[in-house]
A and B are shown apart, each in its own frame.
Chain A
Amino acid sequence: MKLVTAIVKPHRIQEVKEALREIGVNGLTTTDVEGFGRQRGHTEVYRGAEYQVDFVPKVRVDVVVADDGADEVVDTIVKAARTGKIGDGKIWVTEVERVIRIRTGEMGADAL
């Protein structure tokens, strides 16, 4: 199984969720996060008062999928999250050792 983690722009999260639902992903976790990549923070100025915005607000999406589903999930997120402008985010895929559904104790792919 794979864990697909994506960092996307907040206003794209609805599209990402819908696109994933359409390809049959039936569970995901989202978290409001802040960070920076190439789209560094920036300095905001309000009439004299200046302050540094170090981190840019993003939404993190975590989806656990079977090995053969990871590519489709990644492609789907890329399509749904892309605006072509800077700060569209990143996706990474990691190996998942074990998954357990807490209520039933089901393991592995059955627990997805």
Chain B
Amino acid sequence: MGSPADPVATLRAALDALERATTRGHHGRWSAQRRSDLFDGCLEELWGELAPPPGLALAALGGYGRRVQLPRSDLDLLVVLDGADPGEVRRVAEGISYPLWDAGFELGLVVRTPQECAEAATERLDSLTAMLDARILAGPEELLRDATVPVRRIAAGDVPGFARRLRAAAVARRERFGSTAHLLEPDLKEGGGGLRDVASLGWLQAAVGSPLEDAGLLRTWEGAAVDAAEGFLLRVRSAVHLETGRRADRLVMELQPAVAAEMGFVDEPGLPAADGLMRAVFEHARNVELVHDLALDRVLDEGDAPTVPDLAGPAQVLRALGELAEVGAVPSSALLDAVEAADVPDPVVWTPEVRDAFVGLLREGPAGAGMLDVLDRIGLLVRFLPAWDAVRCRPQRDPYHRFTVDAHLLAAASGIAELLAGPADADDPLQTEAAGTIERPDGVLLGALLHDIGKVGQGNHAAIGAGIAERQLRTMALEAADRDLAAFIVAEHLVLPDTATRRDLTDENLVLDVAARVGTPERLAALYLLAKADARATGPAAWTPWRQALIRELVGKVQRAFERGEMGAELAATLAERVDRLRELLAAEPDDLVDRFVLRMPRGYFLAVGPDRAARHLPVVMPDLGANEVRTASHATGAAGTHELLVVANDRPGLLSWIAGSLALGGISILSAQAFTTEDGVAVDLFEVEGAFEPEIDERRWRAFRSSLRRAIDGSASLERRVEEQRGAYPAHRAPAPITVTVDNEASEFSTVLEVGAPDRIGLLYDITRTFADLRLDVHLAKVTTFEGRVVDAFYLRDALGRKVTDPRQLDEVHEALRERLG
């Protein structure tokens, strides 16, 4: 604790008063200057008390030298000495440092001769730039001049060389800290477009020796934009210091709401206060980044004035940028001047030339996206894409995203261009195949560029974006097929990642529904490439092997559903038609009951069974089933003597065999059968039957069938012996026809398909399905047809754990058992 006269205590009190003078959001440039003055006063006083010898001077460096001292920034000081006694130098340096350190200030103090200053400046750019900001605080001013004049000469003597060093330093900073202009948690000081870039322009001015505007290195609006950006960023950075109580430069998410409130941002429709703050930060930082780079370019362009083409209109502008992108060059400031001077109407009227030039830029990948970024920074991109305005500089708040919406869109578009054109990825064969499937790359590129265009603060961005993209795409002179593909992938870009990570990929209905929604292999390929480019443009955490594995599994299953013809655009249309018709037929039933029925039944059911029959099935299928309950319903069909029989029961191994056996016992012949299983494990089995010996099936026979089946299900009677007895009672009219058994593990994603051909006879289906039950195989789907005395049956089988049967030994066992039983 110092006495009242203690200059450091006085300083502390004055700084505290300064902080209290206004809210945390209003400590901008004025406050930094006032703070700097307060430090000046304190240091002058300390210096006076120390009464240093004449060969010593005290100077402020860096930001403090520029009189920009932020609330928690450290203080950079230089003691210049010229032949002073080392003991005295030490006494003075300690006399300055200790009281400030003791009071908790961060202080960096270097002691150098003018000679040493020049040496340090030659070696290190940061020493050089710090000296360019040097300002005398106490002691003889000539002494500081002796130090700064040679240093200034280093910069001024070779302005292009100095500019190159500034540029290299800026590039290194951007590599390390990223961009202040689009990172969601930007570094306000060191990031690209941050306050260090503003200072960098100041150093360039010091080297040039006159205002940059006068030297033709900045145009008037550029200088004004940087000035405004500096004022704003200083306010934000001061608020961050005051909010955290320390020298923090990163505006992390959790600080943003408080800083926004302190700075007077308020919630607006679709733009919360914190997003408004961030948008302003990004806008300003983009101006700084652009102007900084332009100014350095202009210095370095001197002497070889590039020939600039005459840019008559939007197509020429895009083509000029496209040519640069092709060779990987950056636009010169002369070219940008020409671009700004070109006649680009707002909005642009798209012609085929404009469209081709625009898509040509997208095709160039990162270099092309860089050109669109440049166009955006000079305010022209929104003339091509008015919808862009709403996502420009817009932050997004989720744990994965690192960039603003517009930066993310450009990154996704450039990423997908690389995936489309790029070399095969050994770890991702699907990528190469998907790229090869795309016939309309333009649609894919544009879809990627617009995929998040619906992120305008209204929620549900895919649906909103679909409408916005549709309107935007319609202005762009595209072929209908490109437009449709682009609009489709905007609307559906979340289907693969969301389904893959949140839903059960072993659910066949799910896979078929995705296939129905996607419709074609090209759309599937486009969605896969976008999922990958989207994730990689999001941040390092988004495209993990974990996500990849799930998304690829889904894509593979959907792809195979297309290849097998289980689903596709046409089938999806048929399915939709049938379901619509079914809803009409069931208009009297509650909507949610019909919805549940549609969701619950396998897609193949609706494709195999017409809406009329399905409508009849609903009341039998939908009510909850008791564990051992079995429901049957029969219905005379058009053909004489034949009936449709519906059996509904909880699925279990053996069920189909009990039904078949009970039918045999009731004297009922099976003409055809279709067995389905719902996702929640209920068997819905359909039979076309006729009387075995007499054409009519009377009620007595139905009763016999039902009672046998009930007893088989609740385990009170064995069918085996009774079916055997019945078979013995009738002479076998068995022709020596061969029995065929084939296994196909490729025909279905989820089941092993086993086909059995055999001469028809009593209890044949019973025998086959009994064999499956003995081997603990579940019949998930069955198609049984009888044709001229021969039965051809296809069974979709799964093992007790719901898997395909792939073990060759187990398959041999099935073969053996079937031949033994049927042969």
Contact with A along B692-732 (1 / 0, CB 8 A): 00000000000000000000000000000000000000000
With A46-B429, A85-B801, A86-B801: A55-B549 Cβ-Cβ less than 8 Å: yes
**Counting CB contacts under 8 A, is A109 at the interface?**
no
In the bound assembly, the distance between CA atoms of A44 and B559 in angstroms comes to 12
Tell me the complex Cα distance, A59–B504, Å.
13
Enumerate the 7 nearest inter-chain pairs by beta-carbon distance, A residue then B residue, closest first.
Answer: A49-B429, A32-B546, A86-B801, A85-B802, A57-B546, A57-B549, A11-B504
Contacts of A27 in B (CB 8 A): none
Choose among B501, B506, B556 the residue that contacts A46 (Cβ–Cβ < 8 A).
B556
From known contacts A44-B556, A84-B802, infer whether A53 and B504 are also in contact, taking CB-CB under 8 Å.
no
Beyond A46-B430, A46-B559, A49-B432, is A83–B504 a contact (Cβ under 8 Å)? yes
Contact with A along B763-805 (1 / 0, CB 8 A): 0000000000000000000000000000000000000011100
Q: Would you call B503 an interface residue if the criterion is a C-beta within 8 Å of the partner chain's C-beta atoms?
A: yes
Known: A57-B549, A85-B803, A86-B803. 18 other contacts (CB 8 A): A10-B501, A10-B502, A10-B550, A11-B501, A11-B503, A11-B504, A11-B505, A32-B544, A46-B430, A46-B556, A46-B559, A49-B432, A49-B433, A55-B549, A56-B549, A57-B547, A83-B504, A85-B801
Q: Provide the residues of chain A in CB contact with B801, threshold 8 Å.
A: 85-86
Contact call B546/A34, Cβ cutoff below 8 A: yes
Q: When each residue 486-514 of chain B gets 1 if its CB lies under 8 Å from chain A and 0 otherwise, what string results?
A: 00000000000000011111100000000
Closest to A88 in B: B801
Question: Is there a chain A Cβ closer than 8 Å to B552's Cβ?
Answer: yes
Chain B residues, CB < 8 A from A82:
none
| A33 contacts the other chain (CB 8 A) | yes
With a cutoff of 8 Å between Cβ atoms, the chain B residues found around residue A9 in the complex are: 504
Q: Give complex CA distance A84, B504 in Å.
A: 12
**CB <8 Å contact, A46 and B433:** yes
Q: Is A98 an interface residue (CB 8 A)?
A: no
Does B545 sit at the interface, judged by CB under 8 A?
A: yes
B802 touches A33 (CB 8 A): no
Q: Is A51 an interface residue (CB 8 A)?
A: yes
29 A-B pairs with CB atoms under 8 Å apart are A9-B504, A10-B502, A10-B550, A11-B501, A11-B502, A11-B504, A14-B502, A32-B544, A32-B546, A32-B547, A34-B545, A34-B549, A44-B553, A44-B556, A46-B430, A46-B433, A49-B430, A49-B432, A50-B429, A53-B553, A57-B549, A57-B550, A83-B504, A83-B506, A85-B801, A85-B802, A86-B801, A86-B802, A86-B803
Report the count of interface residues on A (CB-CB < 8 A). Answer: 21
Does A103 count as interface, using CB distance less than 8 angstroms? no
Give A7-51 as 1s and 0s: 1 = Cβ < 8 Å from B's Cβ atoms.
Answer: 001110010000000000000000011100000000010110111
Q: Find chain A residues with CB under 8 A from B429 CB.
A: 46, 49-51
Chain B contact residues: helix, strand, loop or mixed: helix
Cβ proximity bits A84-110 to B, threshold 8 Å, 1 near / 0 not: 111000000000000000000000000
Q: Which residue of A lies closest to B563 (CB)?
A: A47
* In the complex, chain A residues whose CB is within 8 Å of the CB of B504: 9, 11, 83
Considering only residues 546-590 of chain B, those with a C-beta below 8 Å from chain A are 546-547, 549-550, 552-553, 556, 559
Chain A residues contacting B559 (CB-CB under 8 Å) are 46
CA distance A55 to B544 in the complex (A): 13
Encoded as 1 (CB less than 8 Å from any B CB) or 0, chain A from 39 to 83 comes to 000001011011101011100000000000000000000000001
Interface centre among A46, A50, A55, A56 (most CB of B within 10 A): A46
Contacts of A84 in B (CB 8 A): 802
Residues in B whose Cβ lies below 8 Å from that of A85: 506, 801-803
Measured between beta carbons, the chain A residues less than 8 angstroms from B502 are 10-11, 14
Which of the residues A14, A32, A47, A56 comes within 8 Å of B433, measured between beta carbons?
A: A47
Which chain A positions have C-beta within 8 A of B556? Answer: 44, 46
A22 to B545, CA, bound (A): 32
Q: How far is the CB of A40 from chain B (nearest CB, A)?
A: 11
A14, B433: Cα distance in complex, Å: 33
Alpha-carbon distance A33/B547, docked complex (angstroms): 10
The CA of A104 and the CA of B430, in the complex, are separated in Å by: 50
CB-nearest residue of chain A relative to B806?
Answer: A42
Q: Decide: B552 and A44 in contact? CB cutoff 8 A.
A: yes
A10 and B501 CA atoms in complex are apart in Å by 6
- Which residue, of A44, A53, A56, A83, has the highest number of chain B Cβ atoms within 10 A? A44
CB-contacts of B421-462 with A (<8 A): 429-430, 432-433
A34 to B803, CA, bound (A): 20
Cα of A11 to Cα of B553 in the assembled complex, Å = 14
In Å, the complex CA distance between A55 and B549 comes to 9
**A54 (CB) vs chain B CBs: closest residue:** B549
A32 CA to B429 CA, complexed, in Å? 23
Among residues 510 to 561 in chain B, which have CB atoms less than 8 Å away from a CB atom of chain A? 544-547, 549-550, 552-553, 556, 559
Nearest Cβ distance between residue A86 and chain B, in whole angstroms? 4
Report Cα–Cα, A47/B501, bound state, in Å.
24
- Across the interface, name the chain A residue whose C-beta is closest to B429: A49
Closest Cβ of chain B to A69, distance in Å, is: 28
Closest to B500 in A: A10
Residue of B nearest to A38 (CB): B801
Task: Quote the shortest CB–CB distance from B591 to chain A (angstroms).
Answer: 26
Whole-angstrom distance between the alpha carbons of A34 and B545 in the complex? 9
CA distance A14 to B502 in the complex (A): 8
> In the complex, what residues of A have CB within 8 A of residue B501's CB?
10-11
Return chain B residues, CB-CB under 8 Å to A33: 546
A78 to B433, CA, bound (A): 40
* Neighbouring B residues of A11 by C-beta, 8 Å: 501-505
A51 to B545, CA, bound (A): 14
| Cα distance A33–B502 in the bound complex, in angstroms | 15
Chain A: CB-nearest residue to B506: A85
A112 CB to nearest B CB, Å: 24
Contacting residues of chain B (330-374) with chain A, CB-CB under 8 angstroms: none
The smallest beta-carbon distance between A83 and chain B, in angstroms, is: 7
In the bound complex, what is the Cα–Cα distance between A99 and B544 (angstroms)?
31
Nearest Cβ on chain A to B250's Cβ, whole angstroms: 21
Task: Give the residue name and chain of the B residue nearest to A85 (CB).
Answer: B802
Residues of B within 8 A of A50 (CB): 429
Residue of B nearest to A84 (CB): B802
Cα separation A46 to B560 with both chains bound (whole Å): 9
Closest Cβ of chain A to B801, distance in Å, is: 4
| A9 to B507 Cα, complex, angstroms | 13
Interface centre among A14, A55, A84, A86 (most CB of B within 10 A): A86
- A86 cross-chain contacts in B, Cβ below 8 A: 801-803
Do the beta carbons of B546 and A53 come within 8 Å of each other? Answer: no
With most chain A CB atoms within 10 A of its CB, the pick from B503, B544, B801 is B801
Task: Tell me, in angstroms, the Cα distance from A56 to B553 when the chains sit together.
Answer: 10
Complex contact B549–A53 (CB within 8 A): yes
Q: Which residue of A lies closest to B681 (CB)?
A: A84
What are the residues of chain B within 8 A of A44 when measuring CB–CB?
Answer: 552-553, 556
Whole-angstrom distance between the alpha carbons of A10 and B502 in the complex? 6
Give residues of chain B (95-149) contacting chain A, Cβ–Cβ below 8 Å: none
Complex Cα–Cα for A11 and B505 (A): 9
A10–B553 Cα distance when bound, in Å, is 13
A10 to B548, CA, bound (A): 13
Docked pose: A10 CA to B130 CA in angstroms: 54
* B553 surroundings in chain A (CB, below 8 A): 44, 53
Interface centre among A9, A49, A57 (most CB of B within 10 A): A57
**In the complex, residue of chain A having the shortest beta-carbon distance to the beta carbon of B424:** A49
Residue of A nearest to B541 (CB): A32
Contacts of B546 in A (CB 8 A): 32-34, 57
Q: How far is the CB of B691 from chain A (nearest CB, A)?
A: 40
Q: B279 → chain A, closest Cβ, in Å?
A: 32
- Which residues of the other chain, B, contact A46 by a CB distance below 8 angstroms? 429-430, 433, 556, 559
CB of A45 to closest CB in B, whole Å: 8
A83 to B803, CA, bound (A): 13
- Nearest-neighbor residue (CB-CB) of B505 within chain A: A11
Task: State A85–B504 Cα separation when bound (angstroms).
Answer: 11
